[in-house]
Amino acid sequence: MEDIQEFSEIKFQGIKINYLYICKRKLWLFSKNITFENTSDKVLLGKVLHEYSYPKENTKEVLIDNLIMIDILSDGSIREVKYSSKMKEADIMQVMYYLYYLKQKGIQKQGIINYPKEKRKEVLELTPEYEEKVKQALKEIEEITAKSIPPPATKQKICKSCAYFEFCWG
């Protein structure tokens, strides 16, 4: 029961878990509603991929508690559709957060990440180790987003394709 009480106080959109593992500065900016995703070609490609992948699935883009958006929901699993596996750890942790979130609501599911462009998938189970990682991630997000200034920009390979590139480096 302690997990549920603690969890009810710390909830975030799944994309924030993803951003935590990609770039803490991006996480902070996004949490302050400073967004550039609507002008990003990569984000547009991802939206098109979501829209046209898996057309036979009936339960696509399921919003839960007006907080988390699951790409595809089926009886036994939740699925996220990702453009590429370059950010694999971030993708996995986003799915683990969704599985943890659902578990707190009494729902057990398997997680799947589909990479349709690569024609492959990752099948995931929420383990106690991943539960601990999710709890730590939630606390870290809370700390980062509570700060009054963003973390410093750090050069990474992904910066060139990031929607925030000009903001951080322009």
pLDDT digits (tens, 9 = 90+) for 66-118: 888 898 888 899 999 998 899 999 999 999 999 999 999 999 999 999 998 89
Q: Which domains does the chain have, with CATH numbers?
A: 2-169 (3.90.320.10)
Q: How confident is the model at residue 56 (pLDDT cuts 50, 70, 90)?
A: low
pLDDT of residue 22: 94
Of residues 37 and 168, more confidence is placed in 168
**CB-based contacts of 38, cutoff 8 Å, min separation 6:** none
Mean pLDDT, the chain, whole residue set: 85
- Residue range 46-57: mean pLDDT, rounded: 61
Q: What is the mean pLDDT of residues 1-22?
A: 72
Helices 128-146, 2-9: crossing angle, 10 deg rounding: 30
